[in-house]
Amino acid sequence: MSKVITLQDLKASLDIIETASLYCELKKVNDTTYKAVINPLREEKTSSLHFYTNTQKFFDFGSNESGDIFDFIARVENISLSDAINRFKDEAYMPRPRPIREKPQPVQNVEVSREQLQKEFDNFETINPADAEHKEELLSINPYWLYDEAHKDDIQLFLSCTRYDRRNKTLVAGWYENSLLNFEMVTYKRRRLNGGKWINRKGTHPNQTAFNRIYADDKPVYIVEGARDALTSILLGLNFIAIPTTSFKNIEAIQSLLKPHDRVILICEDLQGYKAMSNLSQNIPNSRLVTFVSSPSEKIDLSDYVNKNNSIKGVLDAISA
């Protein structure tokens, strides 16, 4: 007489992580959570499908779908729930205990030395504007007239801070701490292929490190956000402090770079940036905010504004008026 296999027996003998890995690549999030690298249930730019070892359930944050292992099989194979369950209900099926997962050992953070970062950075190609691929990337950051008008010293500094990653066909920018005279590299950032945010070198966390170039006492100091605006500021010949994100809260780092008489101008790219820069300005004497947006939905940073103009003088007049 065949043994009757109950639904509870089936669920107890199957592991949702083991089963899900047959349909998609999984990335571990923590001790109880795994995430699908590519969502097999539907198309989406970034997968939001998660699996949980403690509940043996899945949840798709993008569609709010959830369920157990059989719900997942039915959904991914486009079959009925009863068919998914009955697949295991035959004499050939042998229940097996769910595998015991050993608690993973904590992974030690390996700090990448600044010398190693600089070595890796220098292994990328030196920017050559005569190279068609290099030029295409450069023009996606700033218009040709800016490179044409920039002072030769600013061009040289720009080229020392940038490289080209031919494998990924993208610009790479160095991010430095303190003065560029010391070249203390904190990370390097790759520009995303879709022109979006820049990605820090894996294993580095420069989110509270300001990158700056202040060389002239008679000029204002501009506070800008992100690698793109930092590169644009170099070509414009600005005194600048670049913060990596509007969540930057290391006000002491900014204050240490400023003199009491410095005129400080904070460039805001959108409403969120305006609020963040406004909070910073409250701790900076002789400071004011400049924004190019006219509505809450707009997002225009310094580099975007440069692309809408045709001379360095025109830009400087606008941001210093």
| Rounded mean pLDDT, 58-82 | 87
Asked whether residue 240 carries a pLDDT value surpassing 90, the answer given is yes
Q: What is the pLDDT of residue 93?
A: 44
| Rounded mean pLDDT, 243-251 | 86
Instruction: Decide which of 201 and 90 is more confident.
Output: 201
Q: What is the pLDDT of residue 4?
A: 57
- DSSP-based three-state secondary structure for 303: helix
| Rounded mean pLDDT, 50-56 | 92
Taking residue 312's Cβ as centre, other Cβ atoms within 10 Å add up to 20
With beta carbons less than 8 A apart as the criterion, state whether 160 and 141 touch: no
Distances (CA, A) of 22 to 17, 26, 109, 188: 9, 10, 31, 36
| Rounded mean pLDDT, 119-132 | 94
| Rounded mean pLDDT, 275-294 | 90
Q: For 307-318, how does the pLDDT look when each residue is reduced to its tens digit (9 = 90+)? A: 989 899 999 999
Q: What is the pLDDT of residue 119?
A: 93
Q: What is the pLDDT of residue 89?
A: 62
Band of residue 195 on the pLDDT scale cut at 50, 70, 90: low
Taking residue 19's Cβ as centre, other Cβ atoms within 10 Å add up to 17
Band of residue 46 on the pLDDT scale cut at 50, 70, 90: confident
Is residue 259 exposed (0-12), middle (13-18) or buried (19+ Cβ within 10 Å)? Answer: exposed
Distance separating alpha carbons of residues 162 and 124, to the nearest angstrom? 9
Q: State the pairing for strand pair 33-36/65-67.
A: unpaired
- DSSP-based three-state secondary structure for 216: coil
Q: What is the pLDDT of residue 131?
A: 93
% of the chain beyond a pLDDT of 90: 42
Asked whether residue 284 carries a pLDDT value surpassing 70, the answer given is yes
Q: What is the pLDDT of residue 110?
A: 45
Instruction: Decide which of 184 and 159 is more confident.
Output: 159
Highest mean pLDDT of the ranges 87-96, 179-188, 285-294? 285-294
Asked whether residue 165 carries a pLDDT value surpassing 80, the answer given is yes
Set out the domains of the chain in order of their start, with CATH numbers.
Answer: 7-86 (3.90.580.10), 114-320 (3.40.1360.10)
Least confident segment among 7-16, 55-64, 113-122: 7-16
Band of residue 91 on the pLDDT scale cut at 50, 70, 90: very low
Q: What is the pLDDT of residue 245?
A: 85
Whole-prediction pTM: 0.65
